[in-house]
Amino acid sequence: MKWAKWTKKQKATLFIGISLLVIIMLTTILKWHVYAGLYYDRLNAVKIQNPEAFELMIKNQAIPPILSIFWSINFTFTWISNLGLGITCVLFAIFYHHKYAKKAMFLTVVFISVTFLVYWTLIFPESIKRFQPLNGSLSIIMHLINPIIGFIVLGINRKNIEITTLTIWLTDVVALAYYFFALIAFYSGIKLIDLDSNPSNESYRTFGLTVYSFLNFEQPLFYKGDSIAIKIFLNLAIVIFGLLIFPAIAYFWKAVYKIKLIKLTKKNKSIENKTINKLN
């Protein structure tokens, strides 16, 4: 479609999408800078307090690569949902009338809504203890400003968005995929916790076993007791909550913006089923 034929909403969405991608790129670079500074301070403290231990760490290659620390930022659902929003805004503006672009736009707003909700209810209260001005400001951008921009973009384009019931429930595919990623990553490195004689939630964080502190499969939702039954219950609660909150938010935005829910025809069902088979 020629630029001259683009609607104001398309142009605005494209501008917002490009702006989001620039913001995310700059935020990521600044995050890397913050993490590099913290990394240096901690290693330097070890070097000053115990030079021999520091030399031994270098000799045994026990110092984590800085790149792995950088990229740990990019595996968070926060970063993925923010990046997804920026990319989708651009693609939606270009393919404004394509049905999959419409669904993708809706889905990415659902995902960043989850980022917004989980951060301010579960993560922020726990992370306030480690608050730092620059890092805190970057978190506000990723967890408040960008999500609000996403909400606004969906509102602006609400009359052009069309979804199906299947679109709503496909959000659970993403929820489960990320959950199993976190689960596999956690137990792949669980042996490291044996190095700490008195492991705490902070220990799991130090070894980089948890993507988010509340998603600690041995101490779920910050539980520090030894009851296996409670651990199983809390882990199941996280799964159930995740499977409910994604479609719940999807239905919320559908209701708020009166998003059109189209019924699947036989032709559409065939296309949707092929899409699911590809995902599986």
Q: What is the pLDDT of residue 273?
A: 54
The whole-angstrom separation of Cα 150 and Cα 154 is 6
At residue 97, what are phi and psi to the nearest 5 degrees? -105, 10
Q: Which domain holds residue 25?
A: 3-279
Would you give the distance in Å from CA 6 to the centre of its chain?
Answer: 31
Q: What is the pLDDT of residue 131?
A: 77
Q: What is the pLDDT of residue 266?
A: 57
Q: What is the pLDDT of residue 267?
A: 56
Contact yes or no for 89/13 (Cβ under 8 A): yes
User: What SS3 class is residue 81?
Assistant: helix
Contact yes or no for 119/78 (Cβ under 8 A): yes
Q: What is the pLDDT of residue 145?
A: 96
Q: What is the pLDDT of residue 279?
A: 44
> Into how many domains does the chain fold?
1
Q: Which amino acid would we find at residue 111? A: F
Q: Which ranges of the chain would DSSP assign to H, the alpha helix?
A: 8-49, 51-59, 66-73, 77-94, 99-118, 124-127, 133-140, 146-156, 165-169, 171-188, 201-206, 228-257, 266-279
* CA distances to 95, 104, 115 from 122, in Å: 36, 27, 10
Looking at the DSSP bridge assignments, the partners of residue 261 are 163
Nearest to 16 by CA among 92, 107, 117: 92
Q: What are the per-10-residue average pLDDT scores of the chain (280 residues)? A: 84 96 96 91 91 89 86 90 97 94 97 95 80 86 96 96 94 95 92 80 81 88 88 94 95 96 67 50
User: What SS3 class is residue 74?
Assistant: coil
